[in-house]
Amino acid sequence: MRLLGYTLGKKMVILPEFGTAYMWLTNDELKDFNFQMGDSEGFVNYPLSIKGVNFAALFMERKDYIKISFRSRRNIPVNKIISTHFSGGGHKNAAGGEEYKLNMEETIKKFVSILPQYAEILKPSYNL
């Protein structure tokens, strides 16, 4: 619960113009919280409960790569977004992948830079 509170309170960025929220956790942060596999299960879903957020991403630093999880509501095909820009795949509203070449900062910068090309499908809907 402490890790979830920390992630939502300190590590979440909301980009309202894209109806998107993302979070990230570094190896050092995971060690500080004595992270065990499974501890972050479901974290990526929490931002979707925020009014206007229809796309959520979680970036977690691993030893040799960045683990990426995407979730969406509505008709946002996160499987296509992740397969096009990151090594990954999945279902229309739930997908995952990895980034092996970039560090965390570069991966997040890449993620934010691709959002404008999906602006039409990402635009927030407040008719929840």
Residue ranges of domains in the chain: 2-121
The domain defined by 2-121 folds into: Diaminopimelate Epimerase; Chain A, domain 1 (3.10.310)
Note the pLDDT tens digit of each residue in 76-100. Answer: 999 999 999 998 999 999 999 999 9
**What would the two tokens of residue 17 be?**
């113009």
- Give the mean pLDDT per block of 10 residues along the chain (128 residues): 90 97 94 76 93 96 95 95 95 96 98 96 68
pTM of the full structure:
0.91
Average pLDDT, the chain: 92
